[in-house]
Structure formats: C-alpha cells, structure tokens
Amino acid sequence: MGKVTGFLEFERLEEGYEPVPQRLKTWKEFVIGLSEEQSKVQSARCMDCGTPFCNSGCPVNNIIPDFNDLVYQGDWRSAIEVLHSTNNFPEFTGRVCPAPCEAACTLNVNDDPVGIKSIEHAIIDRAWAEGWVTPQPPVAKSGKTVAVIGSGPAGLAAAQQLARAGHAVTVFEKNSRIGGLLRYGIPDFKMEKSHIDRRIAQMQAEGVVFRSGVMVGELPKDGPAARVTNDATETVSAQQLLADFDAVLLAGGSETSRDLPVPGRELAGVHFAMEFLPQQNKVVAGDKLKGQIRADGKHVIVIGGGDTGSDCVGTSNRHGAASVTQFELMPQPPEEEDKPLTWPYWPYKLRTSSSHEEGCGREFAIATKAFVPGTGKDKHRVVGLKTVHVQWQGGKMVEVPGTEKEWKADLVLLAMGFTAPVASVLDAFGVERDGRGNAKAGTDDGSGYRTNVAKVFAAGDMRRGQSLVVWAIREGRQAAREVDAFLMGRSTLPR
C-alpha cells in the first residue's frame, strides 16, 4: 500500500477531455490521460484492502492493488509486468472498458472509487512509449497447429497465449482488417486503430499468422445475419479446417443485429448500427467507399440506448447531423445508484457517455410503431417515425394512451443489440447451440470451452452472447489454456 492515508487526503481525479467543438472536428481520441504525478496521487488512494473486491470485479482479475502500489512507488516497469500477467491488451481495456472494477472498489462504498481504469491506461501507454512491450516468442515449438476463427479481442487473446505456448496459430478473419469489433464497431474517437496494428505486429513476431479476407463457412442469403460486415474474397470450409488443424477455436462474435420489424422497415435510410459504424471506421482507415451512409444535415434517430447507440450518436455528430435523438425502450434510470443495495456489483443508474455530452436528445420509455415514408420521389425513403410512450406493469410493456407522436427523421439507426452469432457458421461445424443461439460450451463447469464437436472450442461473444471487450479477453485467455491442455495433456498457461 503506497500511502496509508492516501484515501483520506486525495480526491478522485477523472481523465480530461478535449473541448467538444474541438473533438467534433476529428476522429481522433480526445481523452487526456493522467500525468505521471497525477497517476501517483490517484494510486495513493488505493487502500490495498484485505479482500480486494476490485480484483474480482474485473473480469480478467487484474491485480489492481499491486499495480497501484507499484505506480505509487514509481516502478512503472514492474507495474506493466503485473498488468500484462492478467491482461494481454490493457491499451484496449484502459480505453473502452466500463470499469466494473471501480464499481467494486471498497472506496466506492461511501466515497468515489480509485480511478483504476485511468491508472491502467497510464501504465500501458507509458510501457509502449518506453519500448517495454516487445514480442515474447516461445522458447520451443510444440509442433501442434491451431485455427482461431475471428480476430476480435477473444480470438486475439487466445492466439497470443497459444503462440506463446509454442503452437502454430493461424487466425482467420472475414474482414479485410484484423480486430473484430475493436476495428469496425468501436469508433476511432474512442480507440484509434494504431493500438491494434502494433499488437498485430507483436503477435506476428511471436509467430501468429493472420489470414484476413477469409470467410470460414458461409453467411445466410437473407435476414440480419446476411448483413454483417464481410469483405471476404476467399472461403474455407469447416471440413478443411478440421482436417488441417489439431484444434479449432470459434471466436466469431455475436454479430446478428436485433431487427425492428415494424411497418416501413424496408425504407431507405433505416440501417443497422453495424452497417453505419464500420463504414466510418473504414473511411478513417483510408478506404474509398461508394455511397457511405452519412448523417450530414440529417435528423438522426438512434433506436437503442446502449453503447452501440452512443457510438452512433458520436459518429452522427462528427458527420454534422442537424439533430440527433436517441430512443430507449426502458424507463430512465435514477441519476445516482443505491450504493448500499448494489455495491460491489454493477449499479443500475443513468449513464451519460462522452458522445451524449457532445449533443443528443434522449427519450426513455418510448417504442417505435412505424417508419414513415416520404411522398413523390421520396416514397421509398424514411422521413419520420411514429412512437408511443410505454410503461412497464407487472413485467409487461403497455402503451400509454394519448402519447402517440410523429418525429422527423432522415436517418434511423437500429442499435438494439445483437441476438446471436451467425448460425450458419456454427452449423457448418455441427456445433450445438444453447437456448439463446450461442455456441454451446461451458467454462468452469468442467467442460472447458469445448463444444460437442471433437477438438472444436468456442469463446467470447460467440459463446457468451454480446458482452464486453474485457470479457472477450478473459474467455480468449481461458480457452487458450483449455486448448493447450487438450493438445499437450497439461498447460502452464494462466487460468
């Protein structure tokens, strides 16, 4: 514990943001990280609790009190070693993790939690700047081969762990660039893509082979799953992979967008968020797109109140939308959580993201009844939508009479979450699905990420359903250990 009285002396210090007018002009990150001195002061607030709830609140079980102490002592090099011992990619989580660790921090019982995420961010950014993050190729090769399908955080974490254990790992990715939703979901203003590129270089030096633009199996011909991001120019069958590799890990994410099948859904101008967001990330990366979906001068309505919706808000404002409004079906949560009731768990409270602060109307308890077409030459294009307010009675949603309203809308973005992985890919391997349509495989119930098909494992959103980057990293790491044990009879990879 750095400073015994630190938590009494120092306040929580938030990372800064560039001013809104400035950040709306660019696609760059706008968070101003803590300085070395600020990080030291923040880490001095850690009480090194006997039972560190933060450590179990963090899905990768980052050893938070230890790296806080090391930062306080000025030993940043040891701090990154501690951080990397549980988390392959702290630069991703240090930027986009919602930080359930902070909700679990003991200081959060009656004060503001330690700024754990900001300290993690500072440690990894310093480590890269100092040149401390280098390839760790294996000492010996195992002679075993592993195919990882999907290059999101689950696939990347698994691939890195397996390569370091000596296996020959090939990552198959249908998109033209590696990274999964880190690359094509999360906008650049939340996480610039150079962070992924330098990890890819590190992993290539450790022996991982990346094959982008390669589709494993096939997408369905229609429905939401047919519209997932896909730049594949080559296809490889499940049978081929099963024949060529000693083990296969399915980490293809949960890509099927939840649809809103109300009248007018087919109108031009109504899109899934994951049709809109990847296009902008591709443009930032230098691609030339024909007919990019843009929000310039438009009245934008984002349906869905979560993170994906919030990313649509930030992207629309950067395009120069005339107005942006976000709809949420559920009632507005309270501004403050009920700490005695919820600590150390993730609290139910109103969350206002940096994108909301950039300009956005927010409507709660509202349901969309229909998309309204224009007239004449606009008869196939959305010009508005019809809504009604709703209430929840006995767990059922009921419409509130007299609250019907029509809204102007030139662009509607559907950001209501994801229902399941693409079923046809799981079917190609003969992998059973659970009740929610995810790949059926357990974690700590003894089944160790194994599916019903011999030598086929599953991890990340493809197994657990839509989730978070930090959960995907956890599952990738744990699945890698299981694959390693399956191939070698035992594993020294961390759990």
Ligand X SMILES: Cc1cc2nc3c(=O)[nH]c(=O)nc-3n(C[C@H](O)[C@H](O)[C@H](O)COP(=O)(O)OP(=O)(O)OC[C@H]3O[C@@H](n4cnc5c(N)ncnc54)[C@H](O)[C@@H]3O)c2cc1C
- Interacting partner of 99 out of ligand SF4, ligand X, none (Cβ under 5 to 8 A depending on kind): ligand SF4
Query: Taking a C-beta distance cutoff of 8 angstroms, is the pair 428, 174 a contact?
Result: no
Query: Taking a C-beta distance cutoff of 8 angstroms, is the pair 343, 109 a contact?
Result: yes
SS3 241: helix
- Interacting partner of 281 out of ligand X, ligand SF4, none (Cβ under 5 to 8 A depending on kind): none
With CB under 6 A as the rule, give the number of residues binding ligand X: 40
Contacts of ligand X in 31-90 (CB under 6 A) = none
- Interacting partner of 117 out of ligand X, ligand SF4, none (Cβ under 5 to 8 A depending on kind): ligand SF4
**How many other CB atoms are there within 10 angstroms of residue 395's CB atom?**
5
Per-residue buried b or exposed e for 8-31, using 16+ beta carbons within 10 Å of the residue's own CB: eebebbebeebeeeebbeebebbb
The verdict on 70 binding ligand SF4 (CB under 6 A) reads no
Residue in 100, 185, 252, 384 binding ligand SF4, rule: CB under 6 A: 100
Distance CA 486, CA 495 (A): 14
Query: Taking a C-beta distance cutoff of 8 angstroms, is the pair 119, 439 a contact?
Result: no
- Interacting partner of 264 out of ligand X, ligand SF4, none (Cβ under 5 to 8 A depending on kind): none
- Of 59 and 155, the one with the shorter C-beta distance to ligand SF4 is 59
Residue in 47, 101, 162, 312 binding ligand SF4, rule: CB under 6 A: 101
Residue in 69, 91, 120, 311 binding ligand SF4, rule: CB under 6 A: 120
Mask 462-481, x = binds ligand X (CB under 6 A)? Answer: x----xxxx-x---------
Residue in 34, 58, 277, 365 binding ligand X, rule: CB under 6 A: 277
Which single residue is written with the structure tokens 């896909």? 230
- Of 144 and 199, the one with the shorter C-beta distance to ligand SF4 is 199
**Least separation, in Å, of the C-beta of 178 and ligand X?**
8
**Pairing, β 145-149 against β 247-250:** parallel
The verdict on 188 binding ligand X (CB under 6 A) reads no
- Of 41 and 104, the one with the shorter C-beta distance to ligand X is 104
The verdict on 97 binding ligand SF4 (CB under 6 A) reads yes
Please count the CA atoms within 13 angstroms of the CA of 427 that sit on its side-chain side.
7
Residue in 102, 173, 328, 358 binding ligand X, rule: CB under 6 A: 173
The span of 95-103, 240-248, 270-278, 456-464 binding ligand SF4 (CB under 6 A) equals 95-103
Contacts of ligand X in 390-449 (CB under 6 A) = 422, 425
The verdict on 93 binding ligand SF4 (CB under 6 A) reads yes
The verdict on 120 binding ligand X (CB under 6 A) reads no
- Residues contacting residue 118 through CB under 8 Å, at least 6 positions apart: 13, 14, 15, 33, 34, 39, 42, 94
The verdict on 154 binding ligand X (CB under 6 A) reads yes
Contacts of ligand SF4 in 31-60 (CB under 6 A) = 58, 60
- Of 28 and 141, the one with the shorter C-beta distance to ligand X is 28
- Nearest Cα to 309, choosing from 259, 273, 282, 260? 273
Distance CA 390, CA 352 (A): 22
Distance CA 120, CA 125 (A): 9
Please count the CA atoms within 13 angstroms of the CA of 305 that sit on its side-chain side.
18
- Of 127 and 219, the one with the shorter C-beta distance to ligand SF4 is 127
Q: How far is CA 190 from CA 58, 95, 186, in A?
A: 20, 7, 7
Sign of CA dihedral 451, 454, 460, 461: negative
Tell the burial category of 203 from Cβ atoms under 10 Å away from its Cβ (0-12, 13-18, 19+): buried
DSSP 259: P
Mask 203-242, x = binds ligand X (CB under 6 A)? Answer: ------------xxx-----------x-------------
**Least separation, in Å, of the C-beta of 105 and ligand SF4?**
9
- Would you say how long the chain is, in residues? 495
**Interacting residues with ligand X (CB under 6 A):** 96-97, 149-155, 172-175, 180-182, 185-186, 190, 215-217, 229, 251-253, 277, 307-308, 311, 422, 425, 460-462, 467-470, 472
**Interacting residues with ligand SF4 (CB under 6 A):** 58, 60, 62, 64, 87, 93, 97, 99-101, 116-117, 120, 470
